[in-house]
């Protein structure tokens, strides 16, 4: 038979106090004498009392549960690593994180809306969404209408501030750094595989050519824009993109892949087509994850520190939660770093290596 859970009533009977006094003592109420608080604490420990965190949270309007709304938690290494980083940063503030997979257009939200409206979440992270998308805008309004603070993390630098907190990533600068690096290595024809929702990558791509004083031939022709891809279609889409790249004239000698989920599939597809990295095609991706260091060859990436992103977003969100709507919206930028590995063919030029 399962052991019956200890209640406040059990503690109150043991120490000879009222349930309300015991409850206040366990919450650290300074109006309760220190000796009484200590006696109640020892009794709770003796009876192995575990408070109902959720019930306490509802009563204080802070459940200490933060929802991480993002895409592809089940199949993207980047989002899985982000979840771990956000959990760690939240735990440091005595909060908890619940990962919720909601697509760019809001699909999957219906499962979480009752919890959102019912007060389960103290705050919400939006991770890697474009608020230019109508579905995401509607989703953010649902959160606002529920009175729940939120922070948009991994967002573009040109995103309007509005009434929400932002942790910005300069996608244009990521592209500029990646393409600049490839140009310095002697590449002149660089193809770009980029998300539709992030035009900043193409702008940064062009800026790198302009700053180098090099003419970018047929830039629109070399830019392959990609939308949302289902998990079971990644390899099919990678094969299609490989064919597009190899049919370009002049043929690119390097690829920059901001659509990072395609990195591994594209590498494999190019290999099946008879090309090797970096001898026949150099490659740089974004959203650096551990697995990039173990691919053959390891993948160069231009990315942000996921832990710095999580710490910054969590500080903003928890401060907003605890200010109970009285804090002004804030924004911060997380810097970008080029992590050089073998896929770009720059071993001899590498300033620093990561894996």
pLDDT digits (tens, 9 = 90+) for 238-258: 999 999 999 999 999 999 999
Q: Answer yes or no: is pLDDT of 348 > 70.
A: no
- Mean per-residue pLDDT, 12-23: 87
The pLDDT value recorded for residue 143 is 82
Range in 117-121, 133-137, 168-172, 202-206 the model is least confident about: 133-137
Highest mean pLDDT, choosing among 65-79, 105-119, 312-326: 312-326
227 vs 246: which has the higher pLDDT: 246
Domains and CATH numbers, the chain: 8-51 (1.10.260.40), 60-170+306-336 (3.40.50.2300), 171-304+338-349 (3.40.50.2300)
Q: Answer yes or no: is pLDDT of 223 > 80.
A: yes
Q: Answer yes or no: is pLDDT of 48 > 90.
A: no
The pLDDT value recorded for residue 301 is 95
- Mean per-residue pLDDT, 281-309: 92
The pLDDT value recorded for residue 351 is 37
b/e sequence 33-58, b meaning 16+ C-beta within 10 Å: eeebbebbeebbeeeebeeeeeeebe
- 3-state DSSP percent of the chain in helix, strand and coil, to 5: 45, 15, 40
The pLDDT value recorded for residue 113 is 81
Token pair for 31: 């109006």
28 vs 57: which has the higher pLDDT: 28
Reported confidence tier of residue 352, pLDDT bands at 50, 70, 90: very low
In the block, tokens 């060859």 appear at 297
135 vs 31: which has the higher pLDDT: 31
Reported confidence tier of residue 354, pLDDT bands at 50, 70, 90: very low
pTM here? Answer: 0.78
The pLDDT value recorded for residue 173 is 95
Q: Answer yes or no: is pLDDT of 58 > 70.
A: no
The pLDDT value recorded for residue 54 is 55
Q: Answer yes or no: is pLDDT of 190 > 90.
A: yes
The pLDDT value recorded for residue 101 is 83
Helix (H) and strand (E) counts in the chain: 13, 12
Sequence-separated (6 or more) residues with CB below 8 Å from residue 221: 248
């Amino acid at each position: 038979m399962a052991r019956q859970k200890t209640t406040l009533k059990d503690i109150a009977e043991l120490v000879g106090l009222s349930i309300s006094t015991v409850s206040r003592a366990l919450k650290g109420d300074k109006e309760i004498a220190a000796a009484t608080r200590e006696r109640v604490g020892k009794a709770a420990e003796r009876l192995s009392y575990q408070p109902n965190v959720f019930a306490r949270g509802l009563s204080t309007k802070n459940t200490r549960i933060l929802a991480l709304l993002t895409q592809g938690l089940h199949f993207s290494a980047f989002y899985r690593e982000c979840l771990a980083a956000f959990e760690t940063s939240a735990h440091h503030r005595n909060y908890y994180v619940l990962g919720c997979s909601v697509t760019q257009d809001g699909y999957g939200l219906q499962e979480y809306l009752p919890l959102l409206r019912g007060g389960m979440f103290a705050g919400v992270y939006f991770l890697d969404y474009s608020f230019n998308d109508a579905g995401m805008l509607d989703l953010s309004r649902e959160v606002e209408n529920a009175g729940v603070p939120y922070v948009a993390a991994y967002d573009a630098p040109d995103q309007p501030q509005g009434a929400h907190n932002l942790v910005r990533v300069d996608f244009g600068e990521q592209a500029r750094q990646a393409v600049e690096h490839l140009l310095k290595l002697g590449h002149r024809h660089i193809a770009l595989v980029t998300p539709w929702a992030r035009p900043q990558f193409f702008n940064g791509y062009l800026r790198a050519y302009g700053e180098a004083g090099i003419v970018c031939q047929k830039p629109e022709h070399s830019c392959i824009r990609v939308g949302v891809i289902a998990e079971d279609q990644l390899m099919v889409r990678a094969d299609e993109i490989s064919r597009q790249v190899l049919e370009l004239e002049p043929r690119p000698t390097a690829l920059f892949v901001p659509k990072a989920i395609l990195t591994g599939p594209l590498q494999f597809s190019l290999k099946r087509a008879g090309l090797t990295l970096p001898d026949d095609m150099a490659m740089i991706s974004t959203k650096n994850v551990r697995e990039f260091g173990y691919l053959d060859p390891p993948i160069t990436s231009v990315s942000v520190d996921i832990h710095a992103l999580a710490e910054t977003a969590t500080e903003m969100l928890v401060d907003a939660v605890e200010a109970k709507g009285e804090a002004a919206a804030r924004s911060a930028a997380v810097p970008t770093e080029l992590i050089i590995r073998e896929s770009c063919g720059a071993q001899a030029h590498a300033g620093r290596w990561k894996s």
